[in-house]
Amino acid sequence: MVVKNVCCIGAGYVGGPTCSVIAWKCPDIQVHVVDVSQVRIKQWNSDKLPIYEPGLDEVVKECLGRNLFFSNDIDQAVREADLIFISVNTPSKTYGIGKGRAADLKHIELCARKIAEVAEGHKIVVEKSTVPVRAAESIAHILSANTKPGVSFQVLSNPEFLAEGTAIENLLNPDRVLIGGEESAEGEAAVGELTWIYHHWVPQHNIITLSTWSSELSKLASNAFLAQRVSSINAISALCEATGADVSQVAHAVGKDSRIGSKFLQASVGFGGSCFQKDLLNLVYIAECLNLHEVATYWQQVTDMNEYQRTRFAKRIIGCLFNTVTDKTLAVFGFAFKKNTGDTRESPARFVCSHLLEEGARLNIYDPKVERQQIESDLTSTRATNDPERIEKLIHIYTDPYQAVIDAHAIVILTEWDEFKTYDYKKMLSVMKKPAFLFDGRKIIDHQAVMNLGYHTETIGKRFTRNTLLRSSGADL
């Protein structure tokens, strides 16, 4: 079999960009991306795509209607496909056994049942979603228990390593592509088909074939290692603030060791995004279920440290503002979990803002890409607060950062958008309340320059002067 027709179930942050790049690089393959959400599919077929990713618009524009199609007709796309990616969401469970930690596989299971129901002939089913190790076994079980005569399946694991904000670049030049399959002639043939697709643009030495279970676990392990680096440098940042060391200097020094490397050593207000937290918790849950309690405790610390870092920053803001933010206006720059995306899932900004709102602060929020409704719903959802009506009155969303700072007591930077580095902070200072504070949770501003302007400046992992107000933030430092 040579794959001519690919279907992807799930037109989200992974399915959309991944399949757009496959369509772009493989003009000989028809790619159909399907989703239950009518709104999302309509957006993919419009001028305003449902997600913001640098370079994505151009790729979609070139392929849409040529060999790339977005639709809600899941049955037809599955029936016609030789190879089906499952790229649906796998959030942490919000109910029942493993609540808050185990991955919720209900969407994956629905996809498997749908494929079993409508498939004809031979299909290669590819897990693209991040799943617990051995999830492929459950998919294969559902498929084989519902197989009709003349229908056969092979299940592969092909986890996605793209990072939001650089998805297109990551997809075009992946460090590696993992393809996990069954150790049988049929399994190897299926691995060969998927390898052939990637070969259109990925060099052979970057395509790693391995066992299905190793492939599934490698994805969870990779995210756990990345998150661990962030938590490690953040733990050091707390030590820096308490001792007078500078975390940027420490990170530079540590990262120069070629065994350690310099990437992912940027201290900040914490990691966010839809993956790190849920994948870590999933790993912890799997370890616990396997009675590997020491392993579970080890990885749990990575997420505990992240929570500590976010809380510490929020408390430090309050401490510096004379121990109260009630009725004070704070201009918040950035709400997305990182720059170059409009995604707010698990964003540290959500957490810090919620903390400040619970303390009665008025927040003037500006983000270049996050929509007003998204910010409002993130901060007023029942998960974020137990008093949504009161909180709603405290939130003000701005489309102009210069308007957001008028009469503000402080600027709080929570996302590392490049444009924040280029603002006229002198002009901003002139319309702010005095003393004016600037809290840089991402370490992107020229701190000396803004201090020279007259801002009282605070950042992560660095103390600017001895005996500053920083001390008033109390035991947390």
Catalytic residue among 19, 275, 320, 353: 275
Residue 33 touching ligand NAI (CB under 6 A):
no
Q: Is 279 annotated as a binding residue?
A: no
For position 374 contacting ligand NAI by CB under 6 A, the verdict is no
Decide whether 224 or 250 has the Cβ nearer to ligand NAI.
224
| DSSP per-residue string spanning 320-345 | HTTT--TT-EEEEE--SSSTT----T
275 is in an annotated binding site: yes
The letter for the amino acid at 360 is G
Query: Using CB under 6 A as the criterion, what x/- string covers residues 245-264 for binding ligand NAI?
Result: --------------------
Q: How far apart are CA 212 and CA 331, in angstroms?
A: 48
How many angstroms separate the Cα of 220 from the Cα of each of 168, 223, 229, 278, 461?
A: 22, 5, 15, 10, 28
324 annotated to a ligand binding site:
no
Query: Which is closer to ligand NAI, CB of 15 or CB of 368?
Result: 15
Note whether 15 binds ligand NAI by CB under 6 A.
yes
- To ligand NAI, the closest distance from the beta carbon of 74 in angstroms equals 6
Contact yes or no for 26/197 (Cβ under 8 A): yes
Using CB under 6 A as the binding rule, whether residue 342 contacts ligand NAI is answered as no
Is there binding between residue 118 and ligand NAI (CB under 6 A)?
no
Q: Is there a binding annotation on residue 273? A: no
Distance of CA 17 to the CA centre of its chain: 14
Q: Give the angle subtended at the CA of 257 by the CAs of 241 and 259, to the nearest 5°.
A: 120
Do the annotations mark residue 40 as ligand-binding?
yes
Cβ contact 9:35 at 8 Å: yes
- E strands, 352-404, are 362-366, 395-398
* Of residues 137-166, those binding ligand NAI (CB under 6 A): 160, 162, 164
Q: Please state the closest distance from residue 110 (CB atom) to ligand NAI, in A.
A: 4
**Quick count: other Cβ atoms within 10 Å of Cβ 246?**
18
Site size toward ligand NAI (CB under 6 A) is: 26
Say whether residue 110 binds ligand NAI (CB under 6 A).
Answer: yes
CB atoms within 10 A of CB 82: 18
19: annotated active-site residue: no
Please, what is the minimum distance in Å from the beta carbon of residue 159 to ligand NAI?
A: 7
Q: How far, in Å, CA of 179 to CA of 320, rounded?
A: 51
With contacts defined by CB under 6 A, name the span among 8-16, 19-27, 149-157, 173-181 that binds ligand NAI: 8-16
Residue 104 binds ligand NAI, judged by CB under 6 A: no
Give the closest residue to 419 by CA, choosing from 366, 352, 356, 363: 366
Q: Which residue has the tokens 């790619």?
A: 31
- Residue 40 is a binding residue for ligand NAI (CB under 6 A): yes
Q: Is the bond into 27 cis (omega within 30 degrees of 0)?
A: no
Residue 372 annotated as binding site: no
Q: Check residue 37 for interaction with ligand NAI (CB under 6 A).
A: yes
The CA distance from 386 to 70, in Å, is: 39
> Interacting stretch for ligand NAI, rule CB under 6 A, among 10-18, 241-249, 289-297, 328-336?
10-18
Q: How far is CA 75 from CA 7, 19, 39, 81, 460, in A?
A: 10, 18, 18, 10, 51
Give the interface segment with ligand NAI, choosing from 35-43, 141-149, 234-242, 459-467 (CB under 6 A).
35-43
Residues whose CB is less than 8 angstroms from the CB of residue 210 and which lie 6 or more positions away in sequence, other chains included: 178, 179, 180, 218
Binding mask 262-301 for ligand NAI (x = CB under 6 A): ------------xx--------------------------
Minimum distance between the CB of residue 164 and ligand NAI, rounded to whole angstroms? 5
Q: Which residues are catalytic?
A: 275
What residue ranges bind ligand NAI (CB under 6 A)?
A: 9-15, 35-37, 40, 74, 87-90, 107, 110-111, 129-130, 160, 162, 164, 274-275
Give the residue ranges of the annotated binding site. 10-15, 35, 40, 129-130, 164, 275-278, 345
